[in-house]
Amino acid sequence: MEANLEIRRLLDVMPASGRMMTKIVSKPEQKKVIDAAFPLPWSQERPIYINFDLWRRLTKPQRDLLLLYQVSWLIGIKWIKPDIYQGVVLVGLLGGVIEAAQADILGVVIAGGLSAVAGTRIWKMNQSQEAEITADKTAIRIAQRRNYSEVEAAEHLLTAIETVAKIEGRSGLDFNELIRCQNLRAISGLSPVGIPNNKIDNW
């Protein structure tokens, strides 16, 4: 597989927001098929790293859905939005600047602590099962605009998750992947049991 040709093809599969916010990078040395680091608030670009030697072992529909999932997860991470935790981070940072200007060490420590706690909470919410399942659903919706049916898209993403584990030499799926697969089986009609939205974080 020629990496540059595949990157150009994948850019066409992406939604416009994905092309603006993310960048596909060839990384042949990584052990994962596809990977992306959690983006920090000041990150201008959100790179998606692909080992194309492993990537070519997936079918084209599996590659499409895996990429759409990764893009959907990345663009779904928003550090600045109307939310109590984002508000606490901003207030803490502003307070830290003010206290530093006034040379109040205790105030700086307290403000910094508030920002750290709220920032950790934001990180956890974006790493949750709910965030991953939301990214799956978003990927499926985008795939439907790329001539996949909802059922086909769910099946391709399901088999992609399972195939990637084998390609990477893992003994099985991790807990979040098992939850995602169960939900995808329900969407594709392979299982009558889905994951209730209000139960996701309790598993």
The reported pLDDT for the residue numbered 43 is 75
Query: CA-based diameter of the chain, in Å?
Result: 62
Whether 100 and 144 map to the same domain: the answer is: no
Tell whether 61 and 156 lie within a shared domain: yes
Q: Is the same domain home to 137 and 68? A: yes
Residues 59 and 155 in one domain: yes
pLDDT in tens, 76-118: 887 655 444 444 444 554 554 454 555 555 554 554 554 555 5
CA–chain centroid gap for 37, Å, is: 9
14-28, 63-77, 110-124: segment of lowest average pLDDT: 110-124
Quick one: DSSP state of residue 31? Answer: S
Q: Are 134 and 76 spatial neighbours (Cβ–Cβ below 8 Å)?
A: yes
CA 100 to chain centre: 35
Q: What is the mean pLDDT of the chain?
A: 81
187 and 149 in one domain? yes
Answer yes or no: do 29 and 89 share one domain.
no
Q: How many domains does the chain have?
A: 2
- In DSSP notation, 51-81 reads -HHHHTTS-HHHHHHHHHHHHHHHHT--SSS
| Residue 71 shares a structural domain with residue 12 | yes
Same domain, 88 and 74: no
Whether 157 and 196 map to the same domain: the answer is: yes
Question: Which residues constitute the domain of residue 121?
Answer: 84-126
Least confident span in 124-128, 165-169, 194-198? 194-198
Q: What does the pLDDT read at residue 146? A: 95
Question: Closest Cα partner for 140 from 69, 87, 85?
Answer: 69
Strands (E), the chain: 22-26, 34-35, 46-50
pTM of the model as a whole: 0.76
Same domain, 20 and 68: yes
Is there a single domain that holds both residue 36 and residue 72?
yes
Least confident of 18-22, 42-46, 61-65, 162-166: 42-46
